[in-house]
Structure 1
Amino acid sequence: MTTPPADEGTAAAAPPPGCPAHAALPADPAARSDAGVARLAGAEHKSDPMGMYARLRAEYGSVAPVLMEGDLPAWLVLGYRENLDVVRTPNRFSRDSRNWGSYRRGDVAPDSPLLPLVGWQPLCAFLDGEEAERLRSAVTDSLGRLDRRGVRRHVTRFANQLIDGFAADGTADLVARFAEQLPMLVMTQLFGMKDEYGPSLVEATLDLVRGSETAFRSNEYVVEVLEQYIPLKREQPGHDIGSWLMAHPAGLSDEEVLQHLRMILVAANENTTICIGNTLRMVLTDHRFRASLAGARMTLPDAVEQVLWDEPSTMVCPGRWAVGDTELGDRQIKAGDMILLGLAAGNADPEIRPDLSVPMHGNRSHLAFSGGPHECPGQDIGRAITETAVDVLLARLPDIHLAVEDKELVWVSSWMSRHLTALPVAFTPRRPSPSAEVPAGRGPGLPGAGEAAWSAGQGVGEREAAVAGQAGAYAAAAPRSAAAHPAPPPVPASAPTVGAAPPVTSRRRAPRRSLWRRFTGWLSGR
């Protein structure tokens, strides 16, 4: 059982045993204020996360005690060097969540919202040592074979198609109509899928990370597509990520291939979506930023790196556990303690950035992609998609500007991330490009977004907001507005095929008892 969570602004009745957050504070509640207990799911972090990090740094130094959902204790790493220390020493701080002391002691409730994010799974992101190296080498080698010019061609093509969809309107929401659409459309091409799968996977993954009532079915759709994709690619390999992953000397099983492909899809989509939105906002709201681009004093890659320093897609990354008793930032860490990587806080550490207004042009030493043996393997893809997307948009709509005041933009924050709900812009209406193809938002044979919805008879009602491994950290960003993004269309009775694959059917299948389903079974009470 977990200690019952305290009401906002009140202290818990009794601290969990060995809780670092409580141990670091005066034992007598009268000797401290409630503000001393930092709750990452609390109002302060949601409204002003960077302000809270600064307060904790002033009070505790580079490592601060915090409370997670259910008053579960953890250490939040605020220092840049301390973050690097954690990620570079897996012998002290393991990625294997089976080391989690709170879970071993039975302090984590079976319905804890943390479990989908940190519960152990047989993915490279949840392993250390030889097995992690085997799986990760297959992923990194496969991603490393991509032709960057080819990636940029795909981005340019789909970016132009998306822009053609709203160019004549003179207004658009760049989050809903551009940033949230583009990454998945590109990823399906890098997987060697036909165009027709892009729109449906865009809608399914958006619904999945929103954690809506149809999220469970959306995840099932993604899995069904990959289940068809894998045997086809084993029989007819191509020049794509999936084929390379299956042919890798590491010898991944079909289940390992499926789960890692799913991790790549969801992680790349969510992380890059946020990065595109943040980069566009900075270009549109900071006049010095855009002037530097126009005057060639800063390149677009420089601009993206600046955004990764100032607004990393993932602000707090869960997923390290102390292997034994140790010390970090003058704090005594006990075996089994959870360590949270404060990526945004580390990037703003005054020890390395005393003046945050000084540009970080050409400096890639930020923490946006973590570091060490578990550093994000797909970061170059994310950079290429973001840089090319922004470049194409600014070239097509050179007078684009924000349609509201910067202060009117709405942000949604979770304990891990912060992103825009919308980015409304205005520009001079323009004709679609002469080479316009079928708009990327629609594919032959697929219903458009909102034309059909999942029905209760198709197994809806089970809530699943979890994503696998490190992908979970990115995908667990706070839900988008359901009104802004309707549920994905149902799996068509005869969906477009991946190459020559048989159609994905909409019939209800027997429950998958894969490791993923066994792990998330608690979500639906099974």
Structure 2
Amino acid sequence: MTVPAHERTAAASQGPTPPPGCPAHSDTGPGGVTRLYGPTAGTDPMGLYERLRAAHGPVAPVLLDGDVRAWLVLGYLENRDVATRATQFSRDPRYWHGWRSGEIDPNTSPLVPLIGWRPDCVSADGEEHQRLRRAVTASLDQFDHRGIRRHAARFAHQLVDGFCERGSAELVSEFAEHLPMLVLTQLLGMPDAYGPQLVHACRDLIKGSEDALTHNANLLRTLEQLVTSKRAMPGHDIASVLMDHPAGLTDDEVMHHLRLILLAGYETTTNLLANVLRMVVIDPRFRGTLAGGHMTLPEAVEQVLWDEPPLMVCPGRWATGDTSLGGQDIKAGDMLLLGLAAGNADQAIRPTPGARVHHNRAHLSFSAGTHECPGQDIARVITHTGVDVLLARLPDVDLSVREEELDWRSSTWTRHLTALPVVFAPRAPYVEEDADPMPAPPPPSALVPLPPERPAHDPVVPAPPAPRLSLWARLTRFLRAR
């Protein structure tokens, strides 16, 4: 791992020191410090955060995979403090003393793809961050919301067509995991066919599986070929705007920003969409009020962002010098993690857990400060459109198992629904006569595909059905003919 040429603040600190008397249990590591990758973190992360809050206050010592030490910020105000004070808490991971102390092996640790330094705006502060951030913002702002909604609606209809005649579906693997990726590949300028493979790679990379480094290398190889293709044949896409922006990004910077947009945009949007679908299908308060007009879909989305953030923990910030936070002594080079879900549940700002928030966007789900997610509105548009299309096509959709049977899979960073099985009255596929043609993606031969091997359970996006006019389309054609 590269360390800046200029001298960093002393690396004497070795990370959070566990307080005396910290009780040991099955989720604890050396010194009695809680593991964020232990059994409880995988099954009940919110309960774990509350126990940490009760034991340590708004900032708690924790261990990451491999017993790597860090501080988890649990308080709402403390999270905002860390996120908005870039001079004290840098986004540049090269400040971390763990690289020099040997606490982590940069060649083997699954943490590296998430906390390692990269030439992108997430790893930069100050003027360098502003230069790179301007290019990213411009690449995202070229798409108006109507255009994104049109893409999302088209793909949502294709996905629903894949199961609507069946009368049953599993909305996570057949809908929520694919819609965001299909839209993102379109915006990035990649072939739609890459979607299924990228879903598997991104999910494994985010959860920090043993193959995380391999998936990261394969993803970078694919994006490198995309950059080469776009240099030769630019288009109306994120990759082309990044390359042509006055900020003068190098090919390496373009590639890493495409990786950033793909990973961050996919995981958060998929989890948000799955959680909103679950709420709409299960919760009678929201299903009834949505149908009755008392709660809009955007309001329901913001409620989910408060209650079930798509990213539970955000890596990371690094202390540039000794300081104090939430009653804890933070040393220069210490790693801090933003506890977005824990901050949203902080009773200091939200005394009644789960209370309706009424369009309040003060949550931490997209972080805060200069590094707040620039693509959050795109995530909202994809989610709104996906749910709209699904409910319009399948208004009688209902859960096919008991709510208690639903299961979640959690990692250090995220928590997502594993399955959402539903039933509904079978319906014919949908055909939209006047749909705008989509821009042609670059030929697949111009890109290096991800490895062909894929687990047998990994779903494949259904192919668009053969043209088949619905009753409404036939009626419209008849009226036009007259």
Task: Report matched runs for 1:91-490 at 5 Å.
Answer: 91-110=87-106, 111-193=108-190, 197-210=191-204, 222-223=219-220, 225-435=222-432, 454=452, 482-485=455-458
Tell me the SS of whatever aligns to 2:256. Answer: helix
| Aligned residue type for 2:45 | P
Q: Which range is displaced more, 208-217 or 175-184?
A: 208-217
CA offset at residue 125 of structure 1?
0.7
Alignment-mate amino acid for residue 484 of structure 1 = H
SS in 2 for 1:327: strand
For the 8 Å contact 1:454–1:487, the answer to whether it is kept is: no
Letter in 2 for 1:421: T
The reply on whether 1:41 has 2:37 as its aligned counterpart is: yes
* Contact persistence 2:202–2:263 (CA under 8 A): no
Paired residues of 1:156 and 1:389 also in contact (CA < 8 A): yes
Q: Deviation per CA, 1:92-113, whole angstroms, max 9, x where unpaired?
A: 0011111112222222234333
CA 1:329–1:142 in 2, change beyond 3 Å: closer, same or farther?
A: same
- Judge which range, 125-134 or 394-403, deviates more: 125-134
In structure 2, the CA distance between the partners of 1:379 and 1:208, relative to structure 1 (3 Å rule), is: closer
How far apart are the structure 2 equivalents of 1:53 and 1:454? 39
Identify if the C-alpha distance between structure 1 residues 189 and 19 changes in structure 2 by more than 3 Å, giving closer, same or farther.
closer
How far residue 435 of structure 1 moved from its aligned partner, in angstroms, is 2.9
The one-letter amino acid paired with 1:247 is: D
CA gap 1:214/1:105 in 2 versus in 1, 3 angstroms: closer
Cα offset, 1:216, TM superposition: 6.9
Q: 1:150 to 1:108 in 2, by over 3 A?
A: same
- Confirm or deny: 8 A CA contact 2:15 2:335 kept in the other structure: no
CA displacement at 1:69 relative to structure 2: 2.2
Contact 2:59 2:75 (8 Å CA) reproduced: yes
C-alpha displacement at 1:218, in angstroms?
6.0
Deviations 1:222-241 (A, max 9, x none): 54554444345445443332
Amino acid at match of 1:98: R
- Residue pair 2:341, 2:365 contacting (<8 A) in 1 also: yes
Q: What SS does the aligned partner of 1:70 have?
A: coil
CA gap 1:487/1:224 in 2 versus in 1, 3 angstroms: farther
Name structure 1 gaps, 5 residues minimum.
Answer: 1-15, 447-451, 456-480, 489-526
Report % sequence identity.
55
Distance in 1 (alpha carbons) for counterparts of 2:115 and 2:186: 30
Q: For the residues of structure 1 that align with 2:402 and 2:309, how far apart are their CA atoms?
A: 23
- Superposed CA RMSD in Å reads 2.8
Task: For residue 358 of structure 1, report the CA deviation from its aligned partner.
Answer: 1.6
User: TM-score, structure 2 length as denominator?
Assistant: 0.83
Aligned residue number for residue 3 of structure 2: none
Distance verdict in 2 for CA 1:82–1:425, change over 3 Å: same
1:25 equivalent among 2, 16, 20: 20
Residues 1:86 and 2:82 aligned together: yes
Aligned to 1:472: none
Report if the CA contact (8 A) 1:79-1:346 is conserved.
yes
Tell me the alpha carbon deviations over residues 357-411 of structure 1, each in whole angstroms, 9 at most, x when there is no partner. 3201211111111111111111111110011100110111000011111111121
Are 2:314 and 2:340, in contact at CA under 8 Å, matched by a contact in 1? yes
Task: Determine the C-alpha separation between the residues in 2 that align with 1:276 and 1:162.
Answer: 14
Cα deviation digits, residues 297-350 of structure 1 (max 9, x gap): 111111111111111111011110110000111211111111010000000000
The aligned amino acid for 1:91 is T
1: CA distance, partners of 2:68 / 2:221:
35
- How many pairs align? 431
- From 68, 86, 91, the equivalent of 1:72 is 68
One-letter amino acid of the counterpart of residue 274, structure 1: N
**How far did residue 171 of structure 1 move?**
0.5
Any idea what the Cα deviations from partners look like across 1:256-281, whole Å, max 9, x if unmatched? 11221122122212221111111101
Quick one: structure 1 residues 46 and 224, their matched pair in 2 at CA, closer, same or farther if it must change by over 3 Å?
closer
AA in 1 matched with 2:105: A
Note the alpha carbon deviations across 1:423-447, whole angstroms, 9 max, x for none.
111100000013389xx9xx9x99x
Contact 1:183–1:269 (8 Å) recurs in 2: yes
Change (3 A) 1:339 1:217: closer
Q: Is the 8 A contact 2:113 2:213 kept in 1?
A: no
- Mark the CA change 1:483 to 1:229 in structure 2 (over 3 Å): closer, same or farther: closer
**Aligned residues of 1:208 and 1:216 also touching (Cα < 8 A):** no
- 2-structure distance, mates of 1:192, 1:210: 23
Q: Report the Cα distance in structure 2 between the residues aligned to 1:321 and 1:236, rounded to whole angstroms.
A: 40
> Match for 1:117: what amino acid?
L
Distance 2:92 2:221 in 1: 28
Is the 1:204–1:219 Cα contact (8 Å) retained in structure 2?
no
Q: Partners of 2:451 and 2:258 in 1: how far apart?
A: 26
CA gap of 1:70–1:265, structure 2 versus 1, over 3 A, is closer
Cα distance change, pair 374–327 in 1 and its aligned pair in 2 (3 A): same
Of stretches 221-230 and 372-381 in structure 1, the one that deviates more from structure 2 is 221-230
1:517 aligns to what?
Answer: none
Mapped to 2, the partners of 1:85 and 1:205 lie a distance apart of 34
Partner-residue secondary structure (3-state), 2:66: helix
Supply the distance in 1 between the matched residues of 2:326 and 2:221 (Cα, whole angstroms).
Answer: 46
CA distance in 1, matches of 2:111, 2:215: 21
